[in-house]
Amino acid sequence: MSTLVNIIRRSIVIVNHQQLRRMSVQERRDQSATIAVGQMRSTSDKAANLCQVKELVARAKSENACMLFLPECCDFVGESRTQTLELSEGLDGELMAQYRELARCNKIWISLGGLHERNDQKIYNAHVLLNEKGELAAVYRKLHMFDATTKEFRLRESDTVTPGPSLERPVSTPVGQLGLQICYDLRFAEPAVLLRKMGAHMLTYPAAFTYSTGKAHWEILLRARAIETQCFVVAAAQMGWHNQKRQSWGHSMIVSPWGKVLADCGEQELDIGTAKVDLSVLQSLYQTMPCFEHRRNDIYALTACNIRSKEPTQDRPFATNIVDKRTIFYESEHCFAFTNLRCVVKGHVLVSTKRVTPRLCGLDCAEMADMFNTVCLVQRVLEKIYQTTSATVTVQDGAQAGQTVPHVHFHVMPRRLGDFGHNDQIYVKLDERAEEKPPRTIEERIEEAQVYRKFLLDTS
């Protein structure tokens, strides 16, 4: 079987396809639901803006929508940097409490497209997702800052907003796995593709697109993201003049995975658009146009950095051995990190590929990128936990290089001042540990993995 076919079979997309195929007719029918996309004109009057949100919630409920998507700046649009900072609140503030009560009382999921979340001297542009109980389901903080100058306007978002630290995994909702983005993120295809790779069925781009850029690119970009990712795309938008300086384009939209516009609010200042989302259409689309199966992971790849690890769900092969899932503290798309059986120094862990491959030269482009990213992440975590400033990171690639387990893996070892009489003695100890070091108990390794896992969870 060709290398390309092997790569295709290893694709995460195949898993998604198999899951869709296993769905019963009833399960697919259950995944059909109505969603609503809202459109409004925010100003610096937070109370008036909240009244608009309440009206949009009422309209969405009247259409039996299970989710309402609100635009960026649904809380307010400031007229200056100073005013924006003054009006901003934390996610535990009074305005958020009212949003949560709205979701709870109306039993509806609400996507708060982009709130001004207070953050020291600046703010985050935070996309907050509430479930039907009014609970916080997810928070995504905008990655890309809109710093642009055209004939019509000059905007420097970075003067006020701190960029978010990471992409967030798709969130499980009544209408499938939802990938969260905000406004200017729409111009970057990479996060959309990564979210699709992580299982997203729907992407959402709440926005306050300027009138001139919206007129030129809004619909084109939304349809492009839908077509290239084969996801539903929902984009709630601001509309009209917010103040004397700022005008938004409007045209809140829902777009099908085929690129068809299912709803468009046009230039109404306060409106909703609705559409029935049926995830069962994805199966036939994947089969008709299997783009994600055809991606050349041997030539190019996208790796999502700093993504929250899922709880390990299965034991992993390590050559002919089996790694107990309880000793695994981090998993990425292609790799996993686990506590070691015999340590040379305290905190000595291993990072390996999920696919059993003896040598580095056997890795494809996607695995190589993911492996190095995972190793660097694990190194940073260990140095923070053990309060060290150095690490030995090594790979023994082949038997003559000291490899005893024929499966690609890196050793990550935090270093302390004077931990060896001669610095390079660590490599000697690495070779000798199988003979000199007794194996640690499974309880010791599980306990250590729990420490690392908790640290990752608390800091992500």
* Active-site residue (options: 72, 168, 333, 367): 72
Residue 72 bears catalytic tag: yes
Q: Residue 266 CB: number of other CB atoms within 10 A?
A: 12
Q: Of 295, 286, 415, 293, nearest to 347 (Cα)?
A: 415
Residue 409 bears catalytic tag: yes
* Active-site residue (options: 183, 265, 335, 343): 183
Angle between helices 94-106 and 46-62 (to 10 degrees): 10
Q: Of 1, 115, 102, nearest to 54 (Cα)?
A: 102
* Active-site residue (options: 116, 122, 142, 334): 142
For residues 383 and 389, what is the distance between their CA atoms, to the nearest angstrom?
A: 6
Backbone angles phi, psi at 391, to 5 degrees: -155, 150
**How long, in residues, is the chain?**
460
For residues 408 and 215, what is the distance between their CA atoms, to the nearest angstrom?
A: 51
Spatial contact of 253 and 217, defined as CB atoms under 8 Å apart:
no
Residue carrying structure tokens 């509309």: 239
Q: Where are the alpha helices (DSSP H) in 307-437?
A: 365-386, 425-436
- Angle among Cα 9, 409, 303 to the nearest 5 degrees reads 50
Residue 183 bears catalytic tag: yes
* Active-site residue (options: 122, 348, 409, 411): 409
Q: Residue 289 CB: number of other CB atoms within 10 A?
A: 14
Instruction: Give residues with Cβ within 8 angstroms of 202, minimum separation 6.
Output: 173, 175, 176, 177, 178, 179, 231, 232, 233, 234, 277
- Six-digit token string for 131: 């479930």
Pairing of strands 109-119, 67-69: parallel
Residue 144 bears catalytic tag: no
Q: Is the dihedral of CA 317, 322, 325, 329 positive or negative?
A: negative
Residue carrying structure tokens 């055209």: 150
Catalytic residues: 72, 142, 183, 409
